[in-house]
Amino acid sequence: MVDTAVDTPITKLTAALAARRQAGEVVVAPFLTAGDPDLDFTFQALKVAQQAGATLCELGVPYSDPIADGPVIQASYTRALNAGGTLEGVFGLAARASEQLTMPLVAMTSYSIIFRRGIDRFVGEAAAVGLTGLIVPDLPIEESSLLAKACRQADVALVRLVTPTTPPERAARIAAESTGFLYCVSVAGVTGERVSLPQQLKDRVRWLKEQTDVPILVGFGISRPEQVREVGDVADGVIVGSALVRHLEATSGDQRQTALASIAQHVGELVAAGRAG
């Protein structure tokens, strides 16, 4: 168990989540692609998301072949890579944000990026720049022991994902081994906005709560205030990606301020829904 008296990356994350829990509010965790359209804009977007009340933010590390993302986030990754996005740039952005913002940052990244960097080196650098956790959607739990060990040693959360197609026995193991929080994928398939969520989602979240003590955040398909209230009845929070990343599709010139205002408004509406629920 992590000593909560010690200021480590994971305790920053767990403290932020616990504060929302104690207040009876739904956690709202935006997802933003690092470097779309550039790193300075991403920093400004993180800043307005925090000001709008986001509890934490997922920072997407651009990758040429994301397996779990729909067309909106895939296009965002492509724009970031075409603009010269690098892992060094993402780490630099995280360091800047960690120095100037209080909101915890969790990186969403492909395992191939971690492996190419070297597991211990990647995790050490992530902790050094203030990243509080990692989400690695393409790493099966059966192959994650080395990364889990490195994260434990660096006190960085390793957030696991459970999908609708995960068998119960395996889902229980994933839930038990997740640190920071558990990412509950709401629907089968890739990321993207949905009009409605599966009827069985609430039952699945209730069952997962029996398997773990960490907060459960639901992602994929969340974009509307009513969905925040619906999910917030059983889960601790929501992750919002494509609906926010869509605001980045046109961000040249004067459109940047418009995009930032749209992100702030969208996050603010979701946070307000979580408080009202």
Average pLDDT over residues 55-71: 83
Nearest residue to 188 via CA among 162, 207, 168, 212: 162
> In this structure, which amino acid lies at residue 68?
A
Residue 197 pLDDT: 63
Q: Locate the DSSP E strands across 62-156.
A: 105-108, 131-135
Residue 74 pLDDT: 86
pTM summary value: 0.92
Average pLDDT over residues 232-252: 86
pLDDT digits (tens, 9 = 90+) for 115-146: 999 999 999 999 999 999 999 999 999 999 99
Q: Collapse the DSSP code of 87 into the 3-class scheme (helix H, G, I; strand E, B; otherwise coil) and give the result.
A: helix
- Domain boundaries 9-276, corresponding CATH code: 3.20.20.70
Average pLDDT over all residues of the chain: 90
Range with the poorest average pLDDT among 28-37, 176-185, 194-203, 219-228: 194-203
Nearest residue to 73 via CA among 108, 24, 116: 108
d(CA 228, CA 277): 8
Do 35 and 85 touch, CB atoms closer than 8 A? yes
- Please state the domain extents for the chain: 9-276
pLDDT band (50, 70, 90) for residue 27: very high
Q: How many CB atoms lie within 10 A of CB 63?
A: 20
> In this structure, which amino acid lies at residue 222?
I
Six-digit token string for 227: 């969905």
> 214: which DSSP letter?
S
Catalytic residues: 58, 69
pLDDT band (50, 70, 90) for residue 186: confident
Residue 192 pLDDT: 39
Residue 67 pLDDT: 66
pLDDT band (50, 70, 90) for residue 66: low
The β-bridge partners of 106 are 58, 133
Residue 14 pLDDT more than 80?
Answer: yes
Average pLDDT over residues 226-233: 91
Average pLDDT over residues 214-231: 91
Does the N-terminal peptide bond of residue 37 adopt cis geometry, omega within 30 degrees of 0?
Answer: yes
Residue 195 pLDDT: 44
Q: State percent of the chain over pLDDT 90.
A: 76
Residue 223 pLDDT: 86
Residue 256 pLDDT more than 80?
Answer: yes
SS3 content of the chain, % helix, strand, coil (to 5): 50, 15, 35
pLDDT band (50, 70, 90) for residue 246: confident
Residue 110 pLDDT: 95
